[in-house]
Amino acid sequence: MSYTHLLKTITRLGSPKILLAGDFMLDSYIYGDALRISPEAPVQVLSVVRREYSGGGASSVAADLLTLGARCACIGVLGSDLNGERLLGLLNQMGADTSGILRLDSRPTISKERIIGLAQHRHRQQLLRVDEECTDSLTDEEYQRLLEYYQRHLADCDAVCLQDYNKGLLATAFCQTLIKTARIAGKPVLVDPPLGQDYSKFTGATLMTPNRKETSVAVGFAVETMDDAARAATVLRERLAMEAAVITLDKEGVYFCTADGGEHLPTIPRTVYDVTGAGDMMLAMTAAAMAAGADLRTALQLANIAGGIEVEKFGVATVSVDEIVNEILTRHRSKTGKIQELDTLLVELDYHRQQNETLVFTNGCFDVLHRGHLEYLKFCKQHGNVVVVGLNSDRSVRQLKGPSRPINNQHDRAALLAALECVDYVVVFDEPDPMALVTAICPDVLVKGADWAEKGVVGREFIEARGGRVVLAPMVEGKSSTLTIEKLNASGTSEKTETHPS
């Protein structure tokens, strides 16, 4: 997959709407100093320092989707209790649509309370976890209320996500109704299943994303090798009549299988701090990308990247589009550096524009780099965030300067420019003037040397007509490639005369 395709997909994700049905949970953390033993029993005494609350389960997927720029309508149940108020407040604060969440007196909000001991306010150590939940199915009336909401909003959504933690909501009949209704409406259904042997309730979904352990339990054999993953993915896809089965393989990336075959998408080695929430991120990124029109392979490539970023963070964390873009750019830059082909350059510049960064363009031969060039390029950097240098190719330099030029070939000249901190991109062009580059790049600022004031700056009319600026840079007196070459030639002639007098 070309990096430009990934970059285009993630930067043009837009704001697709996802219907998310699942088990919404509240994660609470009680931090305190544990410095003494209770006189009542052989247990530690926790002196509370602070309390923190965050969304878990399907709430984590909602946070991931919203951080990626998607819209998220939640379908689920919470208790009519304080934890329900807290979780509903968190979801609303994120920007989720919570009108599809029922508040019920008959069950508590699913919550996981973690007691974290500190030593001198540092060195976190989990001492205890207290879970509160009800895993019973809902009543027929409660399911009907959720289905009515689902059916009203299905036409307006781009994809459906089911996040199941075996907490009672996604019972077989309800789950099958959600899937069949969505598939009839032409909406993809993505499932993150729980640990269990029977996945039949997910039959007919578009795809599911079990991890290695969940897959092993579901298919009845250990998934240890890539051959195991291929076999397991085929079993799941065929058994459940899905378009694809996607198995997440932690540090080995993902393996996915469709009717056209299977493929392993590796990930890059990372420093893993916490794998909590990686599966949620995989589901969210895959759903958002597919909802925006991406093919499955592209969506999984992006999910692989997003999941890799997530595990480098502590706890359940979200990943932004900017973080994914930066990761893609960093990977590409490690291979190509600042020197770009025009088509890839335009994709990257499109991202910089979305960040409201000012693009500066200049061009030249930059044959024998000297102080005048450095001052000129630093001047360019003072007028914007991103400096793009259009570099004349060897052929165009010969057309402009004569057959004895350039002294340095285009690869060497580009490498020298790319080594400068004030230059962000270098693109080589073959034409005698940069007009085609100027119209393709559409910079905010076009910089040329002051010596071009009377000659006329190529592209001035185009830039100014679009609201851009043309800026003339001051010249450093006595500094030019031509003068430098003449001095070198004169020096060489002088040495020959002294060595071989006539």
Active site residues: 280
The conformation of residue 243, written as its DSSP 8-state character, comes to S
CA distance 57 to 399: 65
Cα–Cα distances in Å, from 141 out to 146, 147, 162, 336? 9, 10, 21, 60
Q: Which amino acid does the sequence have at 493?
A: T
Euclidean distance between CA atoms 148 and 61, whole angstroms = 23
CA distance 236 to 371: 65
Please report, as a single letter, which amino acid is at residue 340: Q
User: Is residue 240 within 8 Å of 202, Cβ to Cβ?
Assistant: yes
| Secondary structure of residue 108 in the 3-state scheme | coil
Tokens of 489: 């030639």
Q: Name 496's bridge partners.
A: none
Determine the Cα–Cα distance for residues 343 and 354; give it in Å rounded to an integer.
17
Instruction: Please enumerate, as own/partner, the contacts of 265-268 that have beta carbons within 8 Å and a separation of 24 or more.
Output: 265/297, 265/300, 265/301, 265/304, 267/304, 267/305, 267/307, 267/308, 268/308, 268/331
* Residue 140 neighbours by CB under 8 Å, 6+ apart: none
H/E segment holding residue 495: helix 481-499
* Rounded Cα gap, residues 286 and 289, in angstroms: 5
Structural contact between residues 281 and 263, judged by C-beta atoms closer than 8 angstroms = no
Instruction: Give residue 487's identity as a one-letter amino acid code.
Output: K
Cβ-contact 186, 52 below 8 angstroms:
no
The neighbouring-strand residues paired with 161 are 20, 190
Residues 6 or more apart in contact with residue 429 via CB below 8 angstroms: 342, 363, 390, 391, 392, 393, 396, 436, 437
What is the DSSP code string of 18-79? EEEEE-EEEEEEEEEEEEEE-SSSSSEEEEEEEEEEEEEEHHHHHHHHHHTT-EEEEEEEEE
Q: Measured between alpha carbons, how far is 420 from 231 in angstroms, rounded to an integer?
A: 51
